[in-house]
Amino acid sequence: MDFGLNAEQAAIQEAARQFAQSVLMPNAAQWDENETFPREVLSQAGQMGFLGLYTPQDHGGIGLSRLDSVMTFEALAMGCTSTTAYMTIHNMVTWMIASFGGEALRSIATELVSGKALGAYCLTEPEAGSDAASLVTSATVVDGDVLLSGSKAFTSGAGEADWLVVIARDEDDRISAYVVEGKAQGLSYGRKEAKMGWHSQPTRSVTFEQVRVPMSHRLGQGGDGFRFAMQGLDGGRLNIAACSIGTAQQALNLARDHCQQRAQFGQPLAQFQGLQFKLADMATELAAARQLLHLAAWKLDEKEPDASAHCAMAKRFATDVGFQVCDAALQLFGGYGYIREYPLERYFRDTRVHQILEGTNEIMRVIVARHVLSEHYNAMRLTEG
């Protein structure tokens, strides 16, 4: 791998950094306090291309690699973790519709890329969280259309999104994916969940009561839904890992500045060796997480056979490290880190959920362990040796 940035990568990352600093960062605390969903800002993000980063260019997206995309999400997350996390979900929805949808869905993909419409992803169910294959939301064919019945839980953007990608089980016990209009008849939303973090995006349950969907709104063929969902999760794990790293990097930057400016016992905190060691460990762990993330993204781009395992490794390691770095940065701020005048407590709250969503970190360990115990893993190690 080439660890340097080419001119195009540097330009995209700089554009994301400027957007984060000038638009996201100044508003993040207010969005968090008031639980405001910044739809207008998301529209601006769409105009800049941030809502269709890896969506194919023939659908209006930028068509970036997954490696370039995670670099962009990291830069955006330094401005607002919660809003960037929603952007990553929207990107996944946009990519799925553009990549697997037919001609009838082309205009929807274009609207999602531009930010004129927003998307949500309905996979998790009340009794089928980590075990996505056990979902029971049903898809029944009636008069050539599909009727969806069931419920989804913890759906980010629900109630605000214009289009939903819904994973459901059809009459042949196959799992398929459908694109559903956010205000379709028979579709209803639960209350907005009161959450520890991620306050700038709503999270609700979604209920489907005989919601009629045209067959032309099915993604791919019948039975393709589980494969699409797993592909989406590989990328989603990289995206949320990038959000953790970006947030933690900003936390480290603030902690470094604080240690240089804050004096105790007659000298700056930065002069105390114990705190120097803490900063060094934080920077080292972040660098390791970033490199693992970039390797996993590269493997996904190259369609390497062990890409899914590396996506799980990167998600597990980066989200654990990201939370730990935010926790350590808050500790370095002392009492100031615990009050809302400073952003450290928000970083702490916003990164905690990253260890749960897109597959819990316990499930990531299961995925990695299966890979390590496989014949393919042993063969690859011998080849590399």
Domain 7-114 in CATH 1.10.10.10? no
Looking at domain 226-384, which of 3.30.460.80, 3.40.50.12160, 3.40.50.300, 1.20.140.10 is its CATH number? 1.20.140.10
327 three-state secondary structure: helix
Contact between 202 and 155 (Cβ < 8 Å): no
pLDDT in tens, the chain (385 residues): 567 778 888 888 999 999 999 999 999 999 999 999 999 999 999 999 999 999 999 999 999 999 999 999 999 999 999 999 999 999 999 999 999 999 999 999 999 999 999 999 999 999 887 777 789 999 999 999 999 999 999 999 999 999 999 999 999 999 999 999 999 999 999 999 999 999 999 999 999 999 999 999 999 999 999 999 999 999 999 999 999 999 999 999 999 999 999 999 999 999 999 999 999 999 999 999 999 999 999 999 999 999 999 999 999 999 999 999 999 999 999 999 999 999 999 999 999 999 999 999 999 999 999 999 997 776 665 455 4
Asked if 358 is an active-site residue, the reply is: yes
Q: Give the separation between CA 371 and CA 374, rounded to whole angstroms.
A: 5
Contact between 164 and 119 (Cβ < 8 Å): yes
Fold entry, domain 119-223 = Butyryl-CoA Dehydrogenase, subunit A; domain 2 (2.40.110)
Residue 191 DSSP symbol: P
Catalytic residue selected from 74, 160, 345, 358 = 358
For the chain, domain boundaries: 7-114, 119-223, 226-384
Q: How many residues does the chain have?
A: 385
Contact between 244 and 356 (Cβ < 8 Å): no
Full-model pTM? 0.95
* Nearest Cα residue to 248 out of 201, 284, 200, 198: 284
